[in-house]
């Protein structure tokens, strides 16, 4: 199994000597709470990012029997406001599981987690392994086979009173729980798609049409493809077919504000695509 977020100190199946991983009992308690939608305790509340990465690897291994295999990666805290809120100067990373993915138009029971939220996101589908040598958004899109609308439905999981920090978020996998995937938009012209992703307007709306958030493509690290570059800078080696969730184009929204559903539109992408979900 490939570890979810790697640094130079990580080797498959091992952990850096200085990393204080959460113990197996704590990880199993987290997994039980996660699957039952129960608020849970932070795994490395006072730890370092190395502790969090080590813990995340154990969490991913423990969750795969329930959530299915890892099918990609996600970047979180990709907007400037989010980084300021969590007092960090770079994103955090986690993984995507096969069983978390739902089709466009899905109906989801509320709550889907202990602290459920939803957000406007986007997925890039890796086309070939040469993406690992990319050094710019243009390079990335040359090796992306498709773009997919994506509304992530994370679970912040941690109980009230538990500190939600970059470290505690990383340790539990950056909230991966559910996500609604739209249809593939093939990348036939990498340069045109690079420009469209930067200039598009992403709008998150409630079921009654109320606009909950709106942002340009550049709101994610200056360009959505920069999330791919960031993940690779942390040691991720992408392979054909991997999905990369680039991060939020706006705030995390609780389901109480959804008015029964949500929709994300991407004005400026080919066909002005959308993805939607109904909450019940």
Confidence at residue 19, expressed as pLDDT on a 0 to 100 scale: 58
Say if residue 9's pLDDT is above 50.
no
- Average pLDDT of 191-219? 97
Are the C-beta atoms of residues 220 and 106 closer than 8 Å to each other? no
pTM here is: 0.91
Closest CA relative to residue 164, chosen from 89, 57, 62, 82: 82
Distance of CA 262 to the CA centre of its chain: 18
- Residues 244 and 247: their CA atoms lie apart, in Å, by 9
Residue 32: which H helix or E strand, with range?
Answer: helix 24-36
Q: Is 262 exposed, middle or buried (0-12, 13-18, 19+ CB in 10 A)?
A: buried
Residues 124-160 have pLDDT tens digits of: 999 999 999 999 999 999 999 999 999 999 999 999 9
Higher pLDDT, 214 or 10: 214
Say if residue 10's pLDDT is above 80.
no
Higher pLDDT, 103 or 19: 103
- Average pLDDT of 8-26? 59
Say if residue 83's pLDDT is above 90.
no
DSSP 158: B
Closest CA relative to residue 75, chosen from 191, 222, 265: 222
Q: Which residues contact 222 (CB under 8 A, 6 or more apart)?
A: none
All structural domains of the chain, each given as residue ranges with its CATH number in brackets, are 24-279 (3.90.850.10)
> What's the start-to-end Cα distance of the chain, in Å?
36
- Residues 180 and 272: their CA atoms lie apart, in Å, by 17
Say if residue 205's pLDDT is above 50.
yes
């Amino acid at each position: 199994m490939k570890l979810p977020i790697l640094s130079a100190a990580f080797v498959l199946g091992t952990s850096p000597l200085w990393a204080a991983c959460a113990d197996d009992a704590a990880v199993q308690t987290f997994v039980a709470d996660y699957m039952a939608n129960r608020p849970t305790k932070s795994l490395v509340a006072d730890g370092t990012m190395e502790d969090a990465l080590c813990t995340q690897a154990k969490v991913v291994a423990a969750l795969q029997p329930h959530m299915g295999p890892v099918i990609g990666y996600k970047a979180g805290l990709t907007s400037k406001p989010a980084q300021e809120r969590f007092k960090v100067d770079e994103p955090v990373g986690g993984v995507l599981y096969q069983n978390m993915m739902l089709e466009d138009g899905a109906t989801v029971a509320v709550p889907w987690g202990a602290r459920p939220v939803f957000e406007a996101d986007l997925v890039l589908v890796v086309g070939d392994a040469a993406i690992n040598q990319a050094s710019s958004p243009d390079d990335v899109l040359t090796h992306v086979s498709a773009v997919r609308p994506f509304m992530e439905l994370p679970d912040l999981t941690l109980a009230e009173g538990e500190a939600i920090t970059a470290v505690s978020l990383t340790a539990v996998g950056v909230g991966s729980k559910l996500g609604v995937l739209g249809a593939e938009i093939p990348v036939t012209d990498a340069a045109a798609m690079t420009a469209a992703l930067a200039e598009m307007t992403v709008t998150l709306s409630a079921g009654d049409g109320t606009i909950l958030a709106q942002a340009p493509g550049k709101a994610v690290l200056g360009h959505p493809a920069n999330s791919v570059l960031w993940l690779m800078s942390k040691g991720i080696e992408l392979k054909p077919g991997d999905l990369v969730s680039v991060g939020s184009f706006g705030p995390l929204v609780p389901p109480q504000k959804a008015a029964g559903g949500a929709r994300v539109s991407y004005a400026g992408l080919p066909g002005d695509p959308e993805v939607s979900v109904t909450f019940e």
